[in-house]
Copies of this chain bind each other. A is one copy, B any other.
Amino acid sequence: MSPLPSGLLGDLDPTSDRAVFRQIADQLREAIDRGRFREGEKLPSEADLVDHFGVSRMTVRNAFSILQGEGLVHAEHGRGVFVRPRPPVRRLASDRFARRHREQGKSAFIVEADAAGSHPQVDSLEVKEEKASQDVSARLGSVRRVLARRRRYLLDGRPVEFATSYLPLDIARGTPIAEPNPGPGGIYARLEELGHRLDHFEEEIRARMPSPTEVKTLRLAAGVPVIHLIRTAFDTEGRAVEVCDTVMAADAYVLSYQLPAT
C-alpha cells in the first residue's frame, strides 16, 4: 500500500463545521474537476484515504457514495473506484422522423449508428396485444387494447434505450406492423401506406432517477438519470395513431429540437 503522492489531496479542516466525509468528497471532486484524475483513472483506494486523512473506513466510503450519487465516479468490486468516463452521446435531432430519413430496410437507429462508426444492436424484441394502460389509452383516444412493440437498443454492446410503441388494434392488427420486422422505413412507413398520413408528432420529456428495473435493463451506473420521452404521432385527420414510450440512459443522449419563432 503505497502512500498517497503528497500534494494530490490536502488536509481536513477540523474547525470547519462541514462534515468530514463531505470535506473528503469535496477534495476528490475538485481533484477530478481539475483533471488531477482523468476519465477512467483509478482513485486512491479506501485504505489509502483512511491512512491519508486518518479517518475510519466508513467515513471514506460515505465520501465515495456522495460522488457516486453525483455520477462522478463508480466503484468496481475488487478493482477500485474510478472516474466515470463520459460515454459518447447519441444526438437526437428533431427532424429524425422526416420522411426523407426513412431509409430502405434499415431502421434510423442502425443507419445513424453505422454512420457514427459504432456497432448498433436491437434486442428484446416483443410484439403482442395487451391492455392499454390508463395513460396510453388517454393519449390514443380511449382505446382498450393495443398492439405493443417493445425493443431495446444497444450501442457497442451497451444498452442505451428501451422503447415501447403502442398502436390501436383497429389500425395495426393483421398488418406488417404486427410483425417483428415491419419492413423498410419502419412502422411509420407502414402507417402511411395504410392511409394514415402523418401530420405531426408531440413529444413529452421528463428526467428522473431510474427504477431498479430500468437500472437492470439499461445496466445503469449509480448517479445516472434517465430521460423519459413519450411521443405521440398524429395523422392528418388529427387522430393519434401511435404512442411511443422511451426510456433513455441520460448519459448517452443529447436531444436537439428546432423551433420556429412564429
Interface of A toward B, CB cutoff 8 Å: 26, 29, 58, 65, 69-71, 94-95, 97-99, 198-212, 222-227, 233, 250-251, 253-262
Contacts of A98 in B (CB 8 A): 261-262
Contact A261 B225, beta carbon cutoff 8 Å: no
Contact B99 A262, beta carbon cutoff 8 Å: yes
Nearest-CB distance from A250 to chain B (Å)? 4
Contacts of A207 in B (CB 8 A): 207, 225-227, 250
A258 CB contact (under 8 Å) in B29, B95, B200, B226 = B200
Contact A203 B65, beta carbon cutoff 8 Å: no
Contact B205 A255, beta carbon cutoff 8 Å: yes
A69 CB contact (under 8 Å) in B97, B209, B251 = B209
Give complex CA distance A154, B98 in Å: 38
Give complex CA distance A210, B71 in Å: 9
Kindly list 12 other residue pairs between chains A and B, CB separation below 8 angstroms, not including A200-B261, A201-B259: A65-B65, A69-B209, A70-B209, A70-B210, A71-B209, A95-B259, A202-B256, A202-B257, A203-B256, A205-B205, A206-B254, A225-B250
Nearest-CB distance from A70 to chain B (Å)? 5
A200 CB contact (under 8 Å) in B225, B255, B256, B260 = B260
Contacts of A26 in B (CB 8 A): 212
Contacts of A70 in B (CB 8 A): 209-212
Give complex CA distance A199, B95 in Å: 17
Query: Closest residue to A226 on the B side, CB-wise?
Result: B207
Nearest-CB distance from A255 to chain B (Å)? 4
- On whether A97 and B261 interact (CB within 8 A), knowing A208-B71, A256-B202, the answer reads yes
Contacts of A256 in B (CB 8 A): 202-205
Give complex CA distance A250, B66 in Å: 19
